[in-house]
Copies of this chain bind each other. A is one copy, B any other.
Amino acid sequence: MARPILYDYARSSAAYRIRIALNLKGVDYEQRLVNLLEGEQQGDDYRSVNPQGLVPALEIDGQRLTQSLAIISYLDSRFPMPPLLSTSIVDRAHVTGMALAIACDIHPLNNLRVLRYLTGTLGIDEAAKNAWYAHWITDGFAALEALAAPRAGDFLLDNSPSMADVILVPQMYNARRFNVPLDAFPTLVRTDANACAIEAFANAHPDRQSQGA
Contact = CB atoms under 8 A, between A and B. Distances in A.
A66 B147 contact: yes
A105 to B, nearest CB: 6
Given A93-B70, A114-B109, A128 B122 contact: yes
A71 interface: yes
Contacts of A143: 51-53
A104 interface: yes
A36 interface: no
Nearest to A147: B51
The interface residues of chain A, by DSSP majority, are classed as helix
Number of copies of this kind of chain in the complex: 2
A90 B61 contact: yes
Contacts of A135: 117, 121
A105 B105 contact: no
Contact of A65 (B93, B101, B108): B93
Given A52-B143, A52-B147, A147-B52, A100 B69 contact: yes
A89 interface: yes
A88 B48 CA distance: 24
Interface string A57-94: 00001010111011101100110000000000110111
B66 A97 contact: yes
Interface in A17-66: 47, 51-54, 61, 63, 65-66
Contacts of A142: 51
Interface of A: 47, 51-54, 61, 63, 65-67, 69-71, 73-74, 77-78, 89-90, 92-94, 96-97, 100-101, 103-105, 107-109, 114, 117-118, 121-122, 124, 128, 131-132, 135, 142-143, 146-147
